[in-house]
Structure 1
Amino acid sequence: MIKLIRSIAISCSALSACLGSFSPAHANTWPTKPIRLLVGFAPGGPTDVVARIIAEEMGKELKQPIIVENKAGAAGNIAAAMLKQAPADGYTLLYNTSSIVIAPWVYQQVGFDPLTDFTPIALTAAVPLVLAINPNVNAGSPQELINLLLATPDHYNYASSGTGAIEHLTAAHMLSAVNAKAVHVPYKGTAPAQVDLIAGATQFTTTTLNTAISPVKAGQLKALAVTSKERTPAMPDVPTLSESLIPGFESLAWQGIVAPLGTPTELVTILNNAINKALQTTQVQTKLAQQGTIVLGGSATEYKDYIASEYKRWGEVVEIADVALD
């Protein structure tokens, strides 16, 4: 998948080739007021931080401020459902995560369909996950951790930011692939999950790289593997799960921006242009690289196709990992 994502970014290096035509009148007059960017997670969290970095640069390009509004709850579902009801005038957008395609497989009712209720604008970034353990766990590699789990089924606990979150599904998928078992402990967010892991109330997790960097550097957690196909520059000495335990394994917490269904094509073009230009700035690339975030980009059509492929893939993961639906 990482090669697919990178090919999307490369294919749009010449923006004029991947941005459609647009009305000169709209280009000259829109936007005429601030744009709302809904974020379905709490202020200061990893998704919120990236959204604000990109929003600031987008605002410079559009010459209107992008106002981030946090509508946290239900793994981002509340914000997504709000966007579905918003006017399709380009003034309300959603900074979505991969949860937009996971939620329909995990929850009975989410209030939206990711394939039919939104207008994709652009893929923005992706974050690998890290298999991290409390330092008191006697494991120096993914295989050693799995050996412990196999020796004492259901004795060890793993934390996540909530049932059905990508952290939960990534860990569940890993365990299913090696026929190991552990007790899932869901929390209401990444922060409390990490606090208990550091304290030793749980033993391991798969959490986003930008969340794991600080506690790993501080020695509060130990990183055993990353879930990208290739090693990350942010943790060059940490192997991938693909090379160390499960060949071909990959899980990325990707992000993007969508608008309400029916948003005019010319507005999609303008917004896509602004996002891609923002992603190419030194400020954005430097800030995101510091968090281990992969900068992407691409056309609206490519993002639509990517959402569809990820929706199918995560549906298969939920089935294979036998994740209980809420």
Structure 2
Amino acid sequence: MRIPQTRMGRPHRLALLACCAALIASGGAAAQDYPNRSIRMVVAGAAGGASDTIARILAEKLPPLLGKPVVVENRPGAGTTLASELVANAPPDGYTIQFITNSHTINGALRKHLRYNPIGDFAAVTLLATQPNLIMVGKDVPAKTLTELVALARKEPGKLNFGSAGAGSASALAGELFKSVTGADLMHVPYQGGTPALVDALAGRVQVLFFPMIDMVQYVQNGRLRGLAITSQHRSPLVPDIPTNAEAGVPGIEAGAWYGIAVPGKTPAPVIARLNRAFVDVLKDPAIQEKLAATGSELIGSTPEYFARYMIDDIAHWERLVKEKPELAID
């Protein structure tokens, strides 16, 4: 497991210090017998999706460490904001936790009227894992490398399109970041979820995808899609022949998925520490490591403080893109 580096400006550091101060102040109220009943883990994705898959892998191994069952509750909808709003308003007692993803911070950057504060209404527990995107093209697209894709998109503006899981989704933002950095002119085609975008890419109706590795590797391995790069600092053992985006000549487009655990704001510090220990210990289990490695995930297992900084930094990252492209903001 490793902890990636992050960068954070002074305003974000001050916000983090304020959150930490509130967290410490609330610690004295923690129940010493936590947990004494089952814990629900809220997942914004639908059953069988990428988030649900990883959440259930972890939930199966947590009861021996926590002494109580961890029950996965799927709350999809509204670009993952339904799940986040539920957790933000739940009692801060550690019995409602959220399997949180990068959609949470993307929403914090894009959506103008959230009914919760994506930082202040949550307390970080741990950053579990990161997962790079695969940049893929249909087999009929003539580009064989990432630089060839960029050149083709510049030469024939608007001819190529990229599919996403919907406006404001992580895959949509990854494509917009690619366009911003490279100057490639790709038309965005938003879908109601990642599956229909994938179906149209396999059928040749969509030319480019920017999706996390989980569930995508099989299509690259069987030749139905052509992988041009992964958005990571190093290659993946699942697709060792596919270069990183920097190796492929296009640095600065690192955008993938991440997975973590958060709880309602003002959850007592001892409860957060208890959850952190349990999740970090689960990630040390060889069987869990093997299962998550098979999804293309890189395990982290961070401290709560690190994950809090990570989320603040991620919001700032996407806010910079929205400032450059205000049309991406969602009312």
My pick for the range that moved more, 85-94 or 101-110, is: 101-110
**Residue 201 (structure 1) aligned to one of 201, 205, 211:** 205
**Could you tell me how far apart the structure 2 residues matched to 1:308 and 1:35 are?**
26
1:279 aligns with 2:279: no
Is the Cα–Cα contact under 8 Å of residues 173 and 321 in structure 1 kept in the other structure?
no
| Aligned residue in 2 for 1:106 | 110
Unaligned runs of 5+ residues in structure 1 are 6-19
Structure 1 residues 284, 71: CA separation in 2 closer, same or farther (over 3 Å shift)? same
1:266 aligns with 2:267: no
Q: What letter is aligned with 1:198? A: L
Instruction: Provide the TM-score with structure 1 as the length reference.
Output: 0.90
**Could you tell me how far apart the structure 1 residues matched to 2:56 and 2:318 are?**
27
| Aligned residue in 1 for 2:5 | 4
- How far is the alpha carbon of 1:105 from its aligned partner? 2.1
**Could you tell me how far apart the structure 2 residues matched to 1:303 and 1:176 are?**
27
Is the Cα–Cα contact under 8 Å of residues 229 and 248 in structure 1 kept in the other structure?
no
Alignment of 1:1-326 (within 5 A): 3-4=4-5, 26=31, 29-326=33-330
Instruction: Provide the TM-score with structure 2 as the length reference.
Output: 0.89
**Could you tell me how far apart the structure 1 residues matched to 2:99 and 2:58 are?**
10
| Aligned residue in 2 for 1:15 | none
Count of residues in correspondence between the two structures: 309
Percentage of identical aligned residues: 32
Q: What letter is aligned with 1:224? A: L
Q: What letter is aligned with 1:59? A: P
Superposed CA offset, 1:48-86 (max 9, x none): 111111122222211211111111012211100111111
- How far is the alpha carbon of 1:323 from its aligned partner? 4.7
Alignment RMSD: 1.9
Superposed CA offset, 1:219-239 (max 9, x none): 211100000121111111101
Unaligned runs of 5+ residues in structure 2 are 7-23
Is the Cα–Cα contact under 8 Å of residues 174 and 256 in structure 2 kept in the other structure?
no
Is the Cα–Cα contact under 8 Å of residues 34 and 66 in structure 1 kept in the other structure?
yes
Report the 3-state secondary structure (helix = DSSP H, G, I; strand = E; otherwise coil) of the residue aligned with 1:4.
coil
My pick for the range that moved more, 131-140 or 237-246, is: 237-246
